[in-house]
Amino acid sequence: MSSEDSWPPLPPLQTGVRSRCPRCGQGHLFKGFLTLRPSCEVCGLDYSFADPADGPAFFVICFACIPSVALAVWLEVAFQAPYWVHAFTTLPFMLLTCIPPLRPLKGWLVASQYFYKAEEGKLARLETPRDDGDLHPHSA
């Protein structure tokens, strides 16, 4: 049952956020906190296609770090808080909003790459019309 046609498509949000295999939905995606397994232990899907790069970190920076920094700035401006207050408020807030979302976001990005069959981009050749109206490849 390793043929691509025998597996129903599973939504990336359903499988990725739960860190499950994007093909079968049963196998594990990670072998550590953020380290991808080489393949699924259930269906054998090779995870070498997956390259989420810095995607999870980008989303965390946009949606978690900015509010954390805003909290720190607000505390400083409003109360002129000493460093120990920041250490006990801002630091835990930043850690709790930045680290836990990394794994579900990475899983979602990997599952989306599989679901949408993402691959490396390729440039198409430009075509220009000739005098007779036919298209021919643009010569550089």
**Domain extent listing, the chain:** 4-117
Q: What mean pLDDT do residues 59-67 have?
A: 90
Q: What is the pTM of this model?
A: 0.79
pLDDT tens by residue, 13-30: 999 999 999 999 999 999
Q: What's the CA gap between 109 and 31, in Å, rounded? A: 17
- The pLDDT score that the predictor gives to residue 1 is 47
